C-alpha cells in the first residue's frame, strides 16, 4: 500500500519512510503541504496520508480541508502528526477532516496499529465502491445482452431530449425489431434465440457512432438514440445498421443464423414530448412490419 508522508523536516521524512518500508508499505514523500496537496489530487494518489500538522505554505490542517472538499468516491484516510496535545486541538483537527491523529513524539507500535486501522478502512471503502459500481451496472444493464436495459435507455433519451430542446439540435430515435424472432426460438430453441440477441447487440454497437447509444426496449425490440449537432436527420445511420445486420451471421450453438430487422425511425419535432416521439417511432415500426418487414420506415 502506498502512503503519503508530508513533513517539512527532511530528517522526520526519512525516518518515517524507513519505518514504513520496514513494515512493508510504499512511502511517497512530500516536503510541504503544497506538495502533499498536489500529490493527493493525482489519479493514482495514495490511499492513506500521514500529514504533519505544522508545515509551511499549507498546513496539514489546510490540506485536510481541501481534500474533504474533493468530489471523489475514495478519499484518502488521513492521520495527523501533531505535537498539540490539548483535547480542543485534537477535536479541531478531526473536525477539519482528519480520520485519526498521533501525538509527537510517536510510539512506533501505536503508529503501526493506527496505520493498519487506516489500511482496513481504505480497503473496506474500495470494496464498497466496487460493490456499488457492480450494483449500479446490474440496475442499468440487461443481464442477457449487457446493453442498457429499458429504464436506463429511457433515462438517456430523457436527457438527450432535454439537450436537443435546449440547444435546438436534432434528435432521432429508432425502434428495431427482429423479424420472425419467434420462429428462431421455435426452430432452434431459446438458447439460440438468446445468442442471436447478443449477436445483434454486437452488430448494432459496431454500426452506430460513438455518441449514439442502444438499449433493450423489450423482448427482441431495441431502442437506438442518435443525436445530431448539425440539425441533419442521420438516416444513413439506420440504413447502414440495417444492412450490417442483414449481412451478418449470428454465431450460435446451432450454427450461423441470419436475421433481418424492421425499424421505425422518428425525428423530434417542435411540439414533441418523449412519449410522442416514442409513439411516432412505434407507429413507423408497425408500418415497416405491415409493409413486409426487413425495412426502415420513417415517421411522417
Of residues 222, 125, 121, 210, the one with CA closest to residue 173: 222
Q: 229 in the Ramachandran plot: left (φ > 0), alpha (ψ -120 to 50) or beta?
A: alpha
Dig out the grid coordinates for 94 from the structure: 478531526
Instruction: With beta carbons less than 8 A apart as the criterion, state whether 270 and 162 touch.
Output: no
Q: Provide the 10 A C-beta neighbour count for residue 276.
A: 13
Length of the chain: 300
Q: How far apart are CA 295 and CA 280, in angstroms?
A: 16
Q: What is the set of active-site residues?
A: 220
Cell 498546513 found at: 59
For residue 65, the SS3 value is helix
Longest Cα separation, the chain: 85
Q: Is the CA virtual torsion 284, 285, 288, 289 positive or negative?
A: negative
For residue 85, the SS3 value is coil
Q: 180 in the Ramachandran plot: left (φ > 0), alpha (ψ -120 to 50) or beta?
A: left
CA angle 252–151–173, rounded 5-degree value: 75
Residues 6 or more apart whose CB falls under 8 angstroms from that of 295 comprise: 242, 262, 263, 288
Dig out the grid coordinates for 183 from the structure: 420462429
Amino acid at each position: 500500500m502506498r502512503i503519503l508522508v508530508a513533513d517539512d523536516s527532511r530528517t522526520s521524512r526519512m525516518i518515517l519512510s524507513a519505518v514504513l518500508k520496514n513494515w512493508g508499505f510504499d512511502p511517497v514523500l512530500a516536503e510541504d503541504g503544497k506538495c502533499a496537496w498536489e500529490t493527493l489530487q493525482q489519479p493514482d494518489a495514495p490511499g492513506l496520508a500521514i500529514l504533519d500538522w505544522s508545515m509551511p505554505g499549507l498546513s496539514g490542517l489546510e490540506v485536510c480541508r481541501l481534500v474533504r472538499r474533493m468530489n471523489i468516491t475514495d478519499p484518502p484516510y488521513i492521520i495527523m502528526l501533531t505535537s498539540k496535545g490539548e483535547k480542543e486541538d485534537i477535536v479541531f483537527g478531526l473536525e477539519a477532516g482528519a480520520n485519526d491523529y498521533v501525538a509527537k513524539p510517536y510510539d512506533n507500535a501505536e503508529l503501526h496499529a493506527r496505520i493498519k486501522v487506516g489500511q482496513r478502512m481504505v480497503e473496506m471503502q474500495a470494496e464498497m465502491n466496487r460493490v456499488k459500481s457492480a450494483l449500479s451496472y446490474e440496475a442499468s444493464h440487461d443481464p442477457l445482452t449487457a446493453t442498457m436495459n429499458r429504464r436506463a435507455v429511457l433515462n438517456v433519451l430523457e436527457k438527450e431530449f432535454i439537450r436537443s430542446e435546449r440547444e435546438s439540435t436534432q434528435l432521432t430515435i429508432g425502434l428495431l425489431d427482429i423479424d420472425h424472432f419467434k420462429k428462431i426460438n421455435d426452430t432452434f430453441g431459446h438458447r439460440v434465440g438468446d445468442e442471436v440477441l447478443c449477436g445483434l447487440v454486437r452488430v448494432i454497437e459496431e454500426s452506430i457512432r460513438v455518441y449514439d447509444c442502444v438499449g433493450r426496449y423489450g423482448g427482441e425490440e431495441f431502442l437506438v438514440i442518435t443525436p445530431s449537432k448539425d440539425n441533419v436527420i442521420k438516416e444513413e445511420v439506420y440504413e447502414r445498421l440495417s444492412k450490417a445486420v442483414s449481412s451478418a451471421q449470428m454465431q450460435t450453438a446451432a450454427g450461423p443464423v441470419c436475421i433481418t430487422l424492421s425499424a421505425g425511425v422518428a425525428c423530434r419535432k417542435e411540439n414533441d414530448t418523449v412519449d410522442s416521439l416514442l409513439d411516432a417511432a412505434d407507429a413507423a415500426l408497425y408500418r415497416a412490419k405491415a409493409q413486409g418487414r426487413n425495412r426502415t420506415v420513417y415517421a411522417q
